[in-house]
Amino acid sequence: MIRLRPPAEDIARILIDEATIAAKVAELGARIAADYENKDLILVSVLKGSLPFMADLMRRIPLPLAVDFLEVSSYGRATESSGVVRILKDLAHPIEGRDVLVIEDVLDTGFTLNYVLEHLRGQHPASVQLCALLDKPARRIVPISIQYRGFEIPDEFVVGYGLDHAERYRNLPYIGVLRPEIYRST
């Protein structure tokens, strides 16, 4: 039988704690509510990593809104994006004429989000904007405009609050830096 260590043992340090995340989510929710008042807003979560962020964020936006989900893959089990983006699950409902706010966990190279944004724009929404919890500008290859940015972070391998490594650590309530020996061993 394989014994798995508790997730906290794999974390080198906490980068963003639970309370700081909650405060930022409240701030972003207030800004979004002000900007989208009287608009037909739909939040589109890019699965799986953005799910905890979107769940918390939508409760901080006191407006009528809809939610939908898009699942894409460019990593698989790797730690670096392959650069090849595939849609695994497309939207369930049309977005034509609606104001779309894409909710993402981390903006890294920009390849995946550029593909997602172009895919959504092709469906003729009224607008498409981006809300990213984390931004790693040091890794950016494709320029992407972020209308709502949570935190700018250094180029470190982070997990928690939806972010994973090999499908683990998503349930951590904070953003932590994964010990290099963990992600380099897989």
- pLDDT at residue number 86: 85
Question: Of 108, 135, 155, 164, which is the active-site residue?
Answer: 108
Domain membership of residue 160 (yes or no) is: no
- Whether 108 is catalytic is yes
Give dist(CA 106, CA 12) in Å, integer: 19
- pLDDT at residue number 82: 52
What residue has token string 């670096």? 80
- pLDDT at residue number 1: 46
Domain membership of residue 161 (yes or no) is: no
Tokens of 183: 């992600």
Domain of residue 137: give its range. 18-154
- pLDDT at residue number 4: 58
Domain membership of residue 163 (yes or no) is: no
Domain membership of residue 2 (yes or no) is: no
Percentage helix, strand, coil for the chain under 3-state DSSP, each rounded to 5? 25, 30, 40
Global pTM?
0.89
> Tell me, what CATH number does 62's domain have?
3.40.50.2020
Give dist(CA 45, CA 51) in Å, integer: 6
- pLDDT at residue number 102: 98
* Count of domains forming the chain: 1
**pLDDT truncated to tens, each residue of the chain (186 aa)?**
455 556 678 999 999 999 999 999 999 999 999 999 999 999 999 999 999 999 999 999 999 999 999 999 875 554 555 567 889 999 999 999 999 999 999 999 999 999 999 999 999 999 999 999 999 999 999 999 999 999 999 999 999 999 999 889 999 999 999 998 888 765
What residue has token string 């006191």? 62
Domain membership of residue 175 (yes or no) is: no
- pLDDT at residue number 80: 54
DSSP-derived 3-state class of residue 118: helix
Give dist(CA 98, CA 32) in Å, integer: 15
Domain membership of residue 107 (yes or no) is: yes
